Amino acid sequence: MKRLAVIANPHKTGAAEALEQLREWAAQHGVQLSSNLDENEGIAEPPARAFDAERRAALARRFAGCDAAVTLGGDGTLLYAVHIIGPLGIPVLPVNLGSLGFHTQATAATMLQCLTAVASGNFLTEPRLLLETTIEKPNGSTADNAAQSRLLALNDVVVSKRVWGRMVHLTVLVDGYTVSNVSADALLVATPTGSSAYNYAAGGPILAPSLEAIVLNAVCPHRISFTPLVLSGNSVVRVRLQQRKPIELAQVLVDGQPWLDALDDETLKISRADVYLPLITFKDDFFRKLREKLAWGGLN
């Protein structure tokens, strides 16, 4: 390994110390390290902020040619990193500095040991399906805004209400066929990775992360009129807003972050991306994570 990319969440306790440890490790092993905090930006560039296409494009250029990436934070930091390094196709080692860390493989205590294993090639990668979302205009063209032309999601894409006490009315199509008109607080389209997140909280099924599948789920549907659906990973989902009143506004969130303030006459297209996220693993026990991270019943 010659070059290492690091994306750190400066708001996380221990992130600065972990980054300094990585810099020392890189110097000792002759590895060039680049991070999102290399310009002394401090907390001016937190991973949790809304989408900034120019910033993300600049980081992607900085990390181009790296052999691997490390994220310092939690699951949210990994989600942020996906939109930067996902198109680069480099393996990612998520380090958990947060409270849950469902998709992380290392902790602050094991980080350097894991990274040494990665540098020597003693690791596996688990390809995680990514969603690609685009906006289609009424005339059939795609959005010419660079921030809306193509965006990746590791967890989910959500069309949500914007006004408390209201709902959104949506038409959902799969592969050109109308599935249903959905009236709900939100509609979410989740990957197997994201099936254990918002989808799970909304009563949807958890999928094994290796599956090639997509989940459709409605949040608090009116009259319980929509049952979660598991679709082929090759399915193409389109969502259209059927606004009945001016106050019934919809917004689009990608991996939990606001992407579009409003969905009006456009169609939201969601499909499998042409790239996968190579998540670094060592000996992953998915069911142990369900027991420990989601407090499922343990074994006697």
CATH code for position 96: 3.40.50.10330
Specify the pTM: 0.86
Q: Are residues 144 and 246 in the same domain?
A: yes
Q: Which two tokens stand for residue 255?
A: 């991996």
In this structure, the strands spanning 168-174 and 213-219 are: unpaired
Provide the percentage of residues in the chain whose pLDDT is more than 70. 83
Q: Which two tokens stand for residue 247?
A: 């106050």
Q: Are residues 32 and 96 in the same domain?
A: yes
Q: What does the pLDDT look like over 154-196, one tens digit per residue?
A: 999 999 988 787 888 999 999 999 999 999 999 999 999 999 9
pLDDT for residue 142 is more than 70: no
User: What is the residue range of 251's domain?
Assistant: 130-274
Greatest pairwise CA separation for the chain in angstroms: 63
pLDDT for residue 76 is more than 90: no
Handedness of CA 6, 3, 64, 136 (dihedral sign): negative
* Distance from chain centroid for Cα 131: 9
- For 126, other C-beta atoms within 10 Å of its C-beta total 18
pLDDT for residue 84 is more than 70: yes
CATH of the domain at 142: 2.60.200.30
Q: How many domains does the chain have?
A: 2
Q: Are residues 77 and 168 in the same domain?
A: no
From residue 69, alpha-carbon distances to 95, 175, 216, 283 in Å are: 11, 35, 31, 19
Taking all residues of the chain, what is their mean pLDDT, rounded to a whole number?
85
240 lies in some domain = yes
Query: From CA 15, how far away is CA 31, in angstroms rounded?
Result: 20
116 lies in some domain = yes
User: Which stretches does DSSP call E strand in 104-210?
Assistant: 106-107, 124-136, 151-153, 156-161, 168-174, 177-184, 186-190
Provide the pLDDT for residue 146.
46
Q: Are residues 64 and 167 in the same domain?
A: no
Q: What does the pLDDT look like over 243-268, one tens digit per residue?
A: 777 767 788 999 988 888 767 778 99
Q: Are residues 116 and 154 in the same domain?
A: no
Query: From CA 136, how far away is CA 134, in angstroms rounded?
Result: 7
- Work out the pLDDT band at 276, boundaries 50, 70, 90: very high
299 lies in some domain = no
The reply to whether 75 belongs to the active site is yes
Provide the pLDDT for residue 140.
61
Q: What does the pLDDT look like over 209-228, one tens digit per residue?
A: 889 999 999 999 987 767 89
Catalytic residue among 38, 52, 75, 264: 75
298 lies in some domain = no
Provide the pLDDT for residue 42.
45
Q: Are residues 116 and 243 in the same domain?
A: no
- Phi, then psi, of 107 in degrees rounded to 5: -120, 175
Q: Are residues 158 and 232 in the same domain?
A: yes
- Work out the pLDDT band at 143, boundaries 50, 70, 90: low
Q: Are residues 18 and 141 in the same domain?
A: no
How many CA atoms does the CB half-sphere of 101 hold within 13 Å? 17
300 lies in some domain = no
Q: Are residues 97 and 169 in the same domain?
A: no
- Work out the pLDDT band at 45, boundaries 50, 70, 90: low
Provide the pLDDT for residue 105.
76
